[in-house]
């Protein structure tokens, strides 16, 4: 990846004083399922304890959920639908893909993100618990997310959703999926995507040089990441896959005709620069872009309960629930 221009020049400031820098998540490759299960339990317990201290907790817990099981050839997996508890009229639909380096996390870990977006944006949220790498490598999880998108369009009205107001979103590797889903929907003639919400998205899996944000924040800032060190190796089977635009949308030759994008980036994140470059590439391709850098925040802050976490969630909810 040659360095592209950035949407804006970041300040590369310090981590905000209220932010806890947690240890990086390193999956035990010898005991993947047990590690994932324990990691999910611990993450959900921490997030529940944090959310219960917030005055929004009773409201987000009024959101209704329903699980369905889908199978598109890799075996069954869950999809969770989040429904606002009240209101009338067709609501926007958001297919939200969770992050986790393509290889861990689940819809449980993202329970409060999806609940909050549903509540604050009056959205129907559809969250696929897609199969994970390395058991299911590129592009298996992406394909399941695309099929979930088509399923959401076909079934939106059953849940009070508007199939003509279909949106995609995701964070980190899930942001990668959301960006690529927008490309697939354009190239494969549907479903039509109205908007894409990309939260600190991983948009390049092949690079020949280290970005400035990777130099500054790639170690000891929760997410240990330098693209040249091949941190997403469990997701890929062959070197050439990393350069595929379906894995690295930043490297795509053509970004024209994509839906309007809202990027929410963390100011102290090794992925900051590639997010800013992707915003610039979208803008240069004529795509309407809004880009927000949450200063002092780390990768993963979208799941937590900092003031800027709720600010970012609110930005995403408002972007997705625009009327035009």
Among residues 103, 106, 173, 269, the one annotated as catalytic is: 269
Instruction: Tell me the angle at which helices 140-155 and 173-187 cross, rounded to the nearest 10 degrees.
Output: 60
CA angle 98, 291, 266 (to 5 degrees): 55
Based on the residue annotation, tell me whether 269 is a catalytic residue of this protein: yes
CA angle 31, 126, 107 (to 5 degrees): 25
Based on the residue annotation, tell me whether 145 is a catalytic residue of this protein: no
Based on the residue annotation, tell me whether 172 is a catalytic residue of this protein: yes
Say how far apart CA 262 and CA 280 lie, in whole Å.
12
Cα distances from 243 to residues 35, 70, 86, 202, 297, in angstroms, run 30, 30, 45, 13, 29
Q: Is 256 exposed, middle or buried (0-12, 13-18, 19+ CB in 10 A)?
A: exposed
Q: Is 208 exposed, middle or buried (0-12, 13-18, 19+ CB in 10 A)?
A: exposed
Residue 91's beta-bridge partner residues?
161
Among residues 172, 182, 213, 309, the one annotated as catalytic is: 172
The residues carrying an active-site annotation are 172, 269, 299
């Amino acid at each position: 990846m040659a360095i592209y221009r950035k949407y804006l020049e970041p300040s590369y400031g310090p981590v905000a004083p209220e932010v806890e820098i947690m240890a990086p998540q390193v999956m035990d490759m010898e005991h993947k399922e047990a590690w994932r299960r324990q990691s999910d339990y611990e993450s959900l317990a921490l997030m529940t304890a944090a959310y219960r201290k917030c005055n929004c907790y009773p409201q987000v817990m009024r959101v209704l959920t329903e699980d369905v099981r889908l199978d598109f050839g890799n075996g069954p997996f869950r999809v969770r639908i989040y429904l606002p508890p009240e209101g009338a009229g067709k609501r926007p639909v958001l297919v939200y893909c969770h992050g986790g380096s393509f290889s861990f996390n689940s819809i449980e870990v993202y329970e409060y993100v999806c609940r909050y977006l549903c509540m604050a944006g009056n959205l129907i949220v559809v969250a696929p618990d897609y199969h994970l790498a390395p058991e299911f490598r590129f592009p298996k999880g992406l394909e399941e997310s695309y099929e979930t998108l088509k399923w959401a369009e076909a079934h939106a009205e059953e849940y009070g959703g508007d199939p003509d107001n279909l949106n995609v979103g995701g964070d980190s590797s899930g942001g990668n999926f959301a960006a690529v889903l927008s490309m697939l929907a354009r190239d494969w003639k549907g479903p039509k995507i109205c908007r894409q919400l990309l939260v600190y998205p991983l948009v390049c899996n092949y690079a020949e040089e280290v970005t400035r944000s990777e130099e500054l924040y790639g170690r000891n800032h929760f997410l240990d990441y330098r693209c040249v060190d091949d941190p997403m190796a469990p997701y890929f089977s062959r070197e050439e896959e990393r350069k595929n635009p379906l894995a690295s949308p930043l490297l795509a030759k053509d970004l024209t005709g994509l839906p309007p994008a809202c990027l929410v980036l963390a100011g102290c994140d090794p992925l900051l620069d590639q997010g800013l470059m992707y915003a610039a590439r979208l803008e240069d391709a004529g795509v309407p872009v809004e880009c927000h850098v949450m200063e002092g925040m780390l990768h993963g802050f979208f799941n937590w309960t900092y003031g800027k976490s709720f600010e970012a969630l609110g930005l995403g909810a408002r972007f997705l629930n625009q009327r035009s």
